[in-house]
């Protein structure tokens, strides 16, 4: 009879842990999006720096501003990744506490309190992580340049693929 109650208790814990596992999948997807954004930011900065070094010119204010915006975005997305990773860790702790509470037959009130606190901590970390992600998106949109309206006609933008009109082409 006691075996049946233990199996029932574990089955109940498995049912309770399904929702946090799905939450972990969603957080994993968000982390994938964020790490891809970070990779794109780093790649763009490397292209600009490489083009500046290869051209042998001093970086113009516009290039320095773009590199500064990229560095700022990288810091924000890194913080967002850190907070979302902390969220995943809190959710893992929720699942672990659920199972430990069932296996060790801990006080249900204590287990419920710990689970609730861990879940609230997870949601707060996720909230702040998403806010930081949103800030990074706003910075990206604010620093977005489409076309060459901000570039003087005689200059080229490193990494843009636009030819430098100040160089004469041989015919």
Q: Looking at residue 139, what is its pLDDT?
A: 92
| Residue scoring higher pLDDT (1 or 74) | 74
Q: Write down the residue that tokens 């801990």 correspond to.
A: 106
Q: Contact 47/80 with Cβ under 8 angstroms?
A: no
The pair of three-digit structure tokens given for residue 39, joined into one six-digit string:
């990779």
| Residue scoring higher pLDDT (2 or 164) | 2
The pair of three-digit structure tokens given for residue 112, joined into one six-digit string:
């419920």
**96 HSE (CA, 13 A, CB side):** 7
Q: Is the pLDDT of residue 165 over 70?
A: no
Domain parsing of the chain, residue ranges: 20-142
Q: Looking at residue 159, what is its pLDDT?
A: 54
Q: Is the pLDDT of residue 42 over 90?
A: yes
Q: Give every CB contact of residue 132 below 8 A, 6+ residues apart in sequence.
A: 76, 77, 79, 80, 83
The pair of three-digit structure tokens given for residue 143, joined into one six-digit string:
């620093």
Report CA dihedral (148, 152, 154, 159) to the nearest 10 degrees.
-50
Q: Of 80, 13, 87, give the one whose Cα is nearest residue 41.
A: 80
Q: Treating both helix axes as pointing N-terminal to C-terminal, what angle do 108-142 and 61-103 enclose, rounded to 10 degrees? A: 170
Give pLDDT tens digits for 84-133: 999 999 999 999 998 888 888 888 899 999 999 999 999 999 999 999 99
Confidence grade of residue 2 (pLDDT, cut at 50, 70, 90): low
Q: Is the pLDDT of residue 167 over 50?
A: no
The pair of three-digit structure tokens given for residue 80, joined into one six-digit string:
């967002």
Round the average pLDDT of the chain to a whole number and report it: 83
Q: Looking at residue 85, what is its pLDDT?
A: 98
Q: Is the pLDDT of residue 62 over 90?
A: no
């Amino acid at each position: 009879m006691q075996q049946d109650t233990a199996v029932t208790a574990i089955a109940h814990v498995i049912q309770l842990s399904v929702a946090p596992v799905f939450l972990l999948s969603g957080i994993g997807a968000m982390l994938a999006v964020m790490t891809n954004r970070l990779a794109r930011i780093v790649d763009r900065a490397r292209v600009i720096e490489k083009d500046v070094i290869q051209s042998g010119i001093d970086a113009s204010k516009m290039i320095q501003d773009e590199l500064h915006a990229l560095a700022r975005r990288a810091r924000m997305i890194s913080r967002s990744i850190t907070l979302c990773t902390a969220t995943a860790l809190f959710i893992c702790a929720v699942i672990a506490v659920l199972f430990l509470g069932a296996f060790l037959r801990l006080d249900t009130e204590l287990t419920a309190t710990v689970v609730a606190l861990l879940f609230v901590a997870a949601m707060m970390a996720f909230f702040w992580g998403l806010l930081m992600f949103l800030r990074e998106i706003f910075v990206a949109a604010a620093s977005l340049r489409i076309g060459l309206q901000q570039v003087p006609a005689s200059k080229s933008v490193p990494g843009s693929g636009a030819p430098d009109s100040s160089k004469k082409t041989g015919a």
